[in-house]
Structure 1
Amino acid sequence: MKLRSPLLALCLAGIPLHAAQLMSAPVTVATPQESAGLVARLTALDAHQGLTNDYSFRISSQHPGITGQKITRAQHTYKGLRVFGSESVVVTNAAGDIVSVASSDRRPGIAPSATTPGAAPLAAPPTPADLTPTLTADDAIRAAVQDIAAGATHRWPPSAELLIYPVMKTIRASSAGDKPDDQLNALDVSEVVDRYALAYMVRLRMALDGKLVYYDVVVDARDGAIIAKWPTLQTVTGTGNSQYNGQVPINTTQTAGGFQMLDAARGTGGKYGGMAITNADHSSPNNPNPGSIYTNNSNTWGDGKQYSGGSTTSANGQTAAVNALWGLMNTYDTNKNVLGWQSLDGNNTATYIAAHVGTAYDNAFYDDSCKCMYIGDGNSFYSLGAIDVIGHEMSHGVTAATANLIYTGESGGLNESNSDIGGEMVEAYARNGDTGSSVPAAGNDWMMGKEISKSGQPLRWLYKPSKDGRSPDAWSSALKNLDVHYASGPNNRMFYFLSQGSKADTTGDYYSPYLTRTPAAMSGIGNDKAYRIWFKALTTKFTSSTNYADARNKVLQAAQELYGGTSKEAIAVQRAYAAINVGADIDEGGGGGDSGEAVERITNGGFENGSTGWRGTIRVIGAHSGQAPYEGTRYAWLGGNGRRSSETLTQRVQIPAAATSAQLSFALHIDTSETGSAIHDTMVVSLRAASGSTILATLATYTNLTPAEGYQIRSFDLLPFKGQQLTLSFAMREDRARQTSFVLDKVSLLTK
């Protein structure tokens, strides 16, 4: 008899797989007791892998997931200190059950995963022996200030957090050992820990000579050496009469003497109690003061013209504020109406924009210290309040509230790319009537900041980043060394291809030489689906240290969860990333005698018809107590016996000789009562000859060391086996004590 599972999986039967999913209403922040309970459950999962009480978790933030779910970000700690860039993203349902966990694990004493199946395990770097600092926090702040800007003044109080800082190095997969650097794919390399440093993370938010100097600095806690540093100011530069959009409706509040630019219908709390536009009135960019909310005697604002100097409250001075309010309203509405996401943090906390910062100030930036935005009037540029610029900066606020991508290297490039993506989607939504529950298919120009440019040249081209002369079109090993605004280029191009597709014209801007499969011009899935997939990955799977390879895997997972494991949307994600040299290209469809339509080769993959189509230990199929299905009511529960046992499920399948695509996928949940670091229980997924006797390929081996809360979608490319009749096999073995459950559902093999 099966044992009741100690770790509950979520039943997803009530969530339609292919329906548009909305984010929940603002979440209630967990009580200390609830947070402690979640930490205890995560720690128990660690214990199954043999980790000691030195390892724990610290809750850092919470925000909504899809309706009925909450996302909690739990930082990894070792002996009470946070491990920088190491964390888990935990999805829970309304009952508090864990749905899934996505992690970036850089903790001491944990060996990194091998880069390729079958490769020798990698050794863990030495665990820090002494975690006692020589320097104080004040010492570290002084060292950081001296290194960055000795004469600067602090705009916000500096801080210094003692932590464990993993110093990373790049290693190659064994299969890429002889590849020249310029031929490497992003999946050919991995970032692993080289050593650990006891360090202070110093946050400086300063000003000097009319400029903001925002830096994060990693200072060695023993000798004061600067280990790493990076700028953190998130800028766009690298019925009102708006400047860029004609007459637009803006939501204001009536007062005793007239009206003010306070939108009380969008957001609550914050500095002003609602979304607001304030008049910085040329306050110095060195230390900008947002000033007071814009007011006017009538409810007609602005003259639609570039600010020409003089009064910031005249009709001409109001135009920058109109630009800002319309942009802020549309950013809010795009995410709320399309995704259900409210304001920047998902919890509907109001923000504000301060217009007229400085004099002829050529910048706009988001400041997470106040969770607000500042806009300059421009000099080389026009006023920096264009719709895509505001969507860009406000999207930095979404990133800060969710993945909090570290603003350097590849993660910094993804941070900037998310803002470019957000800016384009807000522009598409706004230019098509700013209503509705989907992002329109067109309306944006795929060029960031074109309207603010006096030369007509945009800041960035999403479809062909290299047109600016600095941004690369594809991933390379040098990407992590670029300014984040340029490192965003490849992912911007990926998103363009995902939405709009590519072209086969080798001389055009929309061609990728990395798309080598059929057809050469990949198909896009449109703005709406592309944005939903990207946003789900950002908010529920990305960690602060996510790089391009990790992003590709997690965006693919998001597409599979939303639209299916072998869906056209999941295929488009793989092709779009392949188009920027991240992962291998795959065939899109066509051929096989089915006019490009996918054919399901698995019989009864959801087990709803009992054992139909399956052979082996068919008693494992059913609707047992103690586990939940991925969808429907039945599933296959291999293991969970707590005694020596073997269970197998097999099905014979045929992949047509003319197939151009063959994608296997299944949903798998693993939980265990085993402890320690030894492998006791396994499930092997393999392909055998039609007779079932000869193993042709082992696709994956799962063990008691790979438990995961909730179901995970697993997928494999079986096209190399086209023209063959095969036996798909799931074979489980348990040893003599302590159960491990391998719960299988939604098995699918789609061919085209």
Structure 2
Amino acid sequence: MFRPIFRLALLSVALAATAAQAQSDRANANAFKNRADDFVRQFPGMSMHGNDHSYTLRDLVVDADGGNHVRLDRTVAGLRVIGGDLVVQSDRFGNLRTMHHNLRWRMDGMATKPALNANRAAMAAMRTTHGEAGKAELVIYARDQQPALAWDVPVSGESDDGTPFEKHVIMDANSGSQLDAWDDIHTAAANGTGKTLYSGNVVLTTNSISGGYELRDPTRGGTYTINMNNRKSGGSVMTDADNTWGNNATSDLASAGTDAQYGTAMTWDYYKNVHGRNGIANDGKGAYNRVHYNRNYANAYWSDSCFCMTYGDGDGTSIKPLVSLDVAGHEMSHGVTSRTANLTYSGESGGLNEGTSDIFGTMVEFYAGNATDAGDYLIGEKIMIGGGSLRSMVKPSSDGASADCWYSGVGNLNVHYSSGVANHFFFLLAEGTNSAYGNSPTCMAGNTRVATGTGSLAGIGRDKAAKIWYRALTTKFTSSTNYAGARAGTIAAANELYGNGSAEANAVAAAWSAVGRN
């Protein structure tokens, strides 16, 4: 009769310890943030700090030696600055090392009274983006241009293929012209993707419930999978009586659900075991999957608003269900990007956003070591009817639209195509020009779109290449980082990981030059 009391006492001690640890973590984070604030104000030339600037903590990375990288979001006169975020890097002794941001103009003395009110801004935005406008927010827009007072108008709706969109339409608050637009729904860009459909028979961790099991993983932040039953809303967590899911075919709806859940587990394990990241947001909480979304829906997407992945069943003519392992890793990696660098989904930063997801989706596929879906440098090869893939990292232009090489107009491409530069860079850094995965030509002088060079380049291995990219993403890139910034950030990351002037750092520089970004 004493056992319940003893257990309650243990639980109380555990809860108290957990609360104390959480309080300590918050105190440490506040200390790092306060020190970063001091540096920002002490060195306004480095930080572009000015009057009425203030900062909030977005993310914190602490290195094993005690060095730290504090990611801050900026406001000026109480207005959020799009493109104003920065990373403050300090060493283990608390000394400032450097700051990373993309601002080129100061914002002191900006007028903050708009000539265009919120309603008129929303009406102007609706003329270019058809949907339902939400409440506009007055902001300062500073992505690659002279800072301007602007309205961030959220517009939601549905594309022709059934993909929902959650767009930011940025309208100049004085002239009424559109400055930018991007979507918070990050798709797999398919045009046509237990006992799984694509990965054979796999081991799943599920949750025991009354009368059977549900497709929920208590060991990975409670990640779970919902069957949408070809609807756009609703759905319920998949359940099973005997804990055997699917039949390796689409005739059993659980097959696709098993692929999605397996992909979520492998992605979780990859980030945790390779990069020390505890879930997408690094907070131990799992995202969830929605499978069998809509009818004949030939796409997949990540949404920040639901913190979830959504998968269609394909159109049955060119695309099969989009639940393959690399697509799952791709979509979840959009969530990692949104919680770190938050690369804006347009221009060159949008290409880097998509490239990041392709890179880590590929790395998840290699990490899983699944013989039925072996690692490669093709994206979505399992979901294509009749062969092919969505994208190739070996030679991106093989899809007829993606860029192999950087050139001055690459940021004008769709983000799924401008991502080719990042994909090509990563492949060359990891594997070099000649490998078992195919010959990847370098770019000729002049930064042409198609790679036609014959230069030879040695790779450093995909594991080192991925560690460099992850460190750059989480400690160097900001929301408006472009390809020039990505070159600088990855070289800096390689120097920190492997030593200044190391072979790895030299290889990073050589790989960027090989894709035309000198």
Q: TM-score range by the shorter chain?
A: 0.7 to 0.9
Contact 1:27 1:63 in 2 (8 A): no
1:300 has 2:244 as partner: yes
Counterparts of residues 604-623 of structure 1 (less than 5 Å): none
Contact 2:199 2:370 in 1 (8 A): no
The 1:381/1:433 distance shift into structure 2, 3 A limit, reads closer
Secondary structure (helix, strand or coil) at the match of 2:488 reads helix
- TM-score w.r.t. length of structure 1: 0.60
Supply the AA of the counterpart residue of 1:86.
Answer: G
The 1:36/1:334 distance shift into structure 2, 3 A limit, reads closer
Counterparts of residues 266-415 of structure 1 (less than 5 Å): 266-267=220-221, 274-284=222-232, 288-289=233-234, 291-305=235-249, 307-308=250-251, 316-379=252-315, 380-415=318-353
- TM-score w.r.t. length of structure 2: 0.85
1:258 has 2:212 as partner: yes
Supply the AA of the counterpart residue of 1:214.
Answer: E
What does residue 573 of structure 1 align with?
508
Secondary structure (helix, strand or coil) at the match of 1:373 reads strand
What does residue 441 of structure 2 align with?
511
Which one of the candidate residues 122, 136, 161 is aligned to 1:141?
122
Shift of 1:165: 1.8
What does residue 157 of structure 2 align with?
206
Pairs aligned (count): 481
For 1:446 and 1:501, how far apart are their aligned partners in 2?
13
The 1:27/1:567 distance shift into structure 2, 3 A limit, reads farther
Shift of 1:135: 3.4
Secondary structure (helix, strand or coil) at the match of 2:43 reads helix
5+ unaligned residues in a row in structure 2: which ranges?
1-21, 447-453
Shift of 1:200: 1.1
Provide, for residues 356-412 of structure 1, a one-character-per-residue CA deviation record: whole Å limited to 9, x for no partner: 101121010000111111011111311100000000000000000000001111110
What does residue 554 of structure 1 align with?
489
What does residue 468 of structure 1 align with?
399
Identity of aligned residues (%): 37
Supply the AA of the counterpart residue of 2:425.
Answer: M
The 1:226/1:324 distance shift into structure 2, 3 A limit, reads same
What does residue 527 of structure 1 align with?
462
Secondary structure (helix, strand or coil) at the match of 2:292 reads strand
Counterparts of residues 66-85 of structure 1 (less than 5 Å): 66-67=63-64, 68=66, 71-85=69-83
Provide, for residues 587-636 of structure 1, a one-character-per-residue CA deviation record: whole Å limited to 9, x for no partner: xxxxxxxxxxxxxxxxxxxxxxxxxxxxxxxxxxxxxxxxxxxxxxxxxx
Supply the AA of the counterpart residue of 1:220.
Answer: D
1:57 has 2:57 as partner: no
Supply the AA of the counterpart residue of 2:468.
Answer: I
For 1:30 and 1:165, how far apart are their aligned partners in 2?
32
Secondary structure (helix, strand or coil) at the match of 1:451 reads helix
Provide, for residues 157-185 of structure 1, a one-character-per-residue CA deviation record: whole Å limited to 9, x for no partner: x34321222374xxxxxxxxxxxxxxxxx
Shift of 1:204: 2.3
For 1:363 and 1:52, how far apart are their aligned partners in 2?
42
Provide, for residues 471-527 of structure 1, a one-character-per-residue CA deviation record: whole Å limited to 9, x for no partner: 1210011101100000000110110011111139xxx842214499xx942111111
CA RMSD of aligned residues (A): 3.0
What does residue 654 of structure 1 align with?
none
Contact 2:67 2:89 in 1 (8 A): yes
The 1:475/1:45 distance shift into structure 2, 3 A limit, reads same
Secondary structure (helix, strand or coil) at the match of 1:347 reads coil
For 1:386 and 1:423, how far apart are their aligned partners in 2?
10
What does residue 46 of structure 1 align with?
43
The 1:569/1:511 distance shift into structure 2, 3 A limit, reads same
What does residue 358 of structure 2 align with?
420
Counterparts of residues 623-642 of structure 1 (less than 5 Å): none
Contact 2:40 2:46 in 1 (8 A): no
What does residue 421 of structure 2 align with?
490
For 1:28 and 1:262, how far apart are their aligned partners in 2?
29
Supply the AA of the counterpart residue of 2:137.
Answer: E
Provide, for residues 322-364 of structure 1, a one-character-per-residue CA deviation record: whole Å limited to 9, x for no partner: 0001100000001111111111112222110111101121010
Secondary structure (helix, strand or coil) at the match of 2:491 reads helix
The 1:167/1:260 distance shift into structure 2, 3 A limit, reads closer
Counterparts of residues 580-591 of structure 1 (less than 5 Å): 580-583=515-518
Supply the AA of the counterpart residue of 1:42.
Answer: F
Contact 1:39 1:57 in 2 (8 A): no
1:449 has 2:380 as partner: yes
The 1:45/1:445 distance shift into structure 2, 3 A limit, reads same
Q: Which has the higher strand share?
A: 1
What does residue 451 of structure 2 align with?
none
Which one of the candidate residues 103, 106, 109 is aligned to 1:108?
106
Supply the AA of the counterpart residue of 1:160.
Answer: A
Provide, for residues 35-90 of structure 1, a one-character-per-residue CA deviation record: whole Å limited to 9, x for no partner: 87346403432357797751523215124443456543213343333332122112
For 2:183 and 2:49, how far apart are their aligned partners in 1?
36
Provide, for residues 172-219 of structure 1, a one-character-per-residue CA deviation record: whole Å limited to 9, x for no partner: xxxxxxxxxxxxxxxxxxxxx3x3321112222333664413221111
- Determine which structure has greater relative contact order: mean sequence separation of CA pairs < 8 Å that are 6+ residues apart, divided by chain length: 1
For 2:468 and 2:143, how far apart are their aligned partners in 1?
31
Secondary structure (helix, strand or coil) at the match of 1:74 reads strand
What does residue 162 of structure 1 align with?
138
1:131 has 2:131 as partner: no
Contact 1:27 1:347 in 2 (8 A): no
Higher-Rg structure is 1
Provide, for residues 515-571 of structure 1, a one-character-per-residue CA deviation record: whole Å limited to 9, x for no partner: 99xx94211111111110110001110011111111011101111111111221111
Q: Which has the higher helix share?
A: 2
For 2:513 and 2:24, how far apart are their aligned partners in 1?
37
What does residue 117 of structure 1 align with?
none
Contact 1:76 1:107 in 2 (8 A): no
